[in-house]
């Protein structure tokens, strides 16, 4: 197998373990979630049995969607912080 194909195969096989390598600072993400996100909803949105988010990619998309729908202005680094915090605290996609 060519080295590039081996890398792709290993990456795909890793699946959700890629969440372990998420960029961001969970402590900063918690501060953002507490200040910004909890003004619209409580933590039950992350823990309900029928939650929409089923993957790291879905979590990133949901956070970006919330940012677009609100007047909250977050840069890429802050979004990474929020995703990292939510994954470590609620989703555990690792």
CA-CA distance, 86 to 59, in Å (whole number)? 8
Write the pLDDT tens digit of every residue in 48-93.
989 889 999 999 999 999 999 998 899 999 999 999 999 999 999 8
CATH number of 19-91: 1.10.760
End-to-end CA distance of the chain: 27
Spatial separation of the C-alpha atoms in residues 21 and 25, rounded to whole Å: 12
Alpha carbon distance 11, 3 (integer Å) = 12
Q: Which SS3 state, helix, strand or coil, does residue 24 take?
A: coil
pLDDT tens sequence across 15-47: 444 555 789 999 999 999 999 999 889 999 999
Side-chain-side CA neighbours of 4 within 13 Å: the count stands at 0
């Amino acid at each position: 197998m060519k080295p590039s194909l081996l890398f792709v195969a290993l990456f795909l096989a890793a699946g959700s373990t890629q969440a372990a390598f998420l960029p961001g600072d969970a402590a900063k993400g918690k501060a953002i979630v507490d200040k910004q996100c909890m003004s619209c909803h409580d933590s039950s949105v992350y823990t309900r049995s029928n939650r929409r988010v089923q993957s790291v990619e879905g979590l990133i998309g949901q956070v970006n969607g919330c940012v677009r729908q609100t007047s909250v202005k977050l840069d890429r680094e802050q979004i990474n912080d929020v995703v990292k915090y939510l994954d470590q605290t609620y989703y555990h996609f690792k």
